[in-house]
Amino acid sequence: MSEEIGPTDAVCPECLKTIHAKKIVENDDVYIVKTCPEHGTWKVKIWSGAEHYKYLYEFAAVPKTPTKRAVGDIKDCPHDCGLCNRHLQHSCVNVVEVTNHCNLNCPVCFATANGCGYDFHPDIETIRGMFQTVVDFVDSPRCVQISGGEPTIRDDLPEIVKMAKDMGIEHIEVNTNGVRIGNDIEYLRKLQQAGVDDFYFQFDGTDDAIYMKTRGRPMFDLKQQAIKNVAEVGGIGITLVVTVVPGVNLDHVGEIIRFAARNTPTVKGVHFQPIFHVGRYPVDPTDDNRVNLPQLAHEIEVQTKGMLKADNFMPTSCSNVHCDMKSLSVVLPDYSLFPLTTMALGPPAKTDDIANKTRKEVSEFWRFIEVSMDGEDETRDKDDHTWNTFIKRAKTHYLTVSAMAFQDVWTGETERWERCCIHVVTLDRKLIPFCLFNTTARDGTTLYRKKTFCQ
């Protein structure tokens, strides 16, 4: 027996044309079923737990179309994106890509950096134009993630960061694999002086066997050195960003969280990104190749022995409620987590300006707070189980554990794209939802990426 829980739209995995799709429940799992009149039908599991899936709609933000948009009325969502008057959420993070070159050659790369058939390494004036797009279309406070490729291969990255700050972009996050900042502390110092607020730090596990599979080389020592360097330089926080792949590192998520806790306050968060499939796929990925958010939350609960429970994860309500989940915990002196978030709190009371709230959170809460802020305090490193100690710890030793289920051509749907709040900046002054930007057909044809950066 299957129950239909909603129509939606999607694109055909073969030809990328807009097609109708539906979501159904079977055996308590939610599937998206896409049918292209020309190329057939695909059915992909997107959620485990039908009642949970439905309940999350109560957490949805009040729809809020961006007031400043590059595109007016559109005929064919998601092909005329930019954003348009059909979009239902503001930007909370804008991604500005500054190169597609990289100093690694990973088997897994959503940006398909290196060997992707085009070269993108814009000059500083072109990058200024992309920042100007953010300033023109997004209200303050603005958060930009500088991404690539690997941004730190650019010697002029400190100059780029400073330019962004001077243009009125309050929060700058650099997406990095950590190779350069682990090897070159003087370069790191220049980034800190230029105003980098945090690193979105690629981190796949605490075992080199994982890195051999995901990055093609051992990297754990280098990752630790990079974290050590960031701690030494000070003033920048780190979010560990983990591409979660079943059979590769899904069974290490608990250890990664414990590693992060041990490395607070420099490490402020762990952000899990279940693998999504872009690029050329001769054989369609199966449900076994994927992990959805409830499955990930369950793994975290099991592997942390209940220290962080699935119920501690809530949707941010900034993106579509089925796109992300987030928890916040205070890290106690024994590095155990004291979660502050729980689904028992219920839906948020106020969601009409959630993107603004999220931008403030990104810029304020995730920012590194100097340990010295509160002066020397000998109780900081021991827990006497008082509220006092708890609060003192909470000021500096907190950890967000979050996840985002990026969509690919198999899982993507309009209902989620139109509520996206993470937008890639294009050269023609548009903002494209991150997942749409990176969507590719089975043969590797991109929906937006190549036509955006191959002008």
Partner 1 sequence: MEFIIDAAVKEAYEAKGIKDEDIKAVVEGAGKDRIYNGSEFIAKKEIGDMTVYARYKMEGDKATILSAYKHKMKILDIVLVGDDTEWKYCANGAVVKAGHTNLTYLGATRSGPSLVEPESGQSWFEEYLANGALATAEVLFQQKRA
C-alpha span between 453 and 455 (Å, rounded): 6
Tell me how far, at minimum, the Cβ of 339 lies from partner 1, in Å.
9
| 405 in Cβ contact with 293 (< 8 Å) | yes
DSSP state of 97: E
Residue with smaller CB distance to partner 1, 194 or 314: 314
CA distance 19 to 323: 21
Question: Which is nearer to partner 1, 64 or 228 (by Cβ)?
Answer: 64
CA distances for 378 relative to 319, 329, 382, 387, 390, angstroms: 41, 21, 8, 15, 13
Q: How far is the CB of 310 from partner 1 (least distance, A)?
A: 16
CB of 402 to partner 1, least distance (A): 13
Q: Residue numbers of the site for partner 1 (CB under 8 A)?
A: 314, 328, 338, 340-342, 344-346, 348-350, 357, 385-388, 390-391, 394
Nearer to partner 1, 214 or 312 (CB): 312
Please give the distance of CA 347 from its chain centroid, rounded to a whole number: 22
**Sheet containing 2-11: order of strands:** 2-11, 18-26, 29-36, 40-48
Min dist CB 388 to partner 1, Å, is: 5
Residue type, 54: K
Q: Which is nearer to partner 1, 51 or 387 (CB)?
A: 387
CB atoms within 10 A of CB 260: 27
Kindly write down the DSSP assignment for every residue of 276-330, as one continuous string. ---SB-SSPPPGGG---HHHHHHHHHHHTTTSS-GGG-B--SSS-TTTEEEEEEE
Output 41 or 342, the one with its CB closest to partner 1.
342
CB of 261: closest distance to partner 1 in angstroms?
A: 18
Please report how close the Cβ of residue 374 comes to partner 1 at its closest, in angstroms. Answer: 12
Angle between helices 185-194 and 157-166 in degrees, nearest 10: 10
Tell me the closest approach of the beta carbon of residue 416 to partner 1, in angstroms: 24
Q: Give the SS3 label for residue 338.
A: strand
Q: Which is nearer to partner 1, 123 or 387 (CB)?
A: 387
CB closer to partner 1 out of 344 and 373: 344
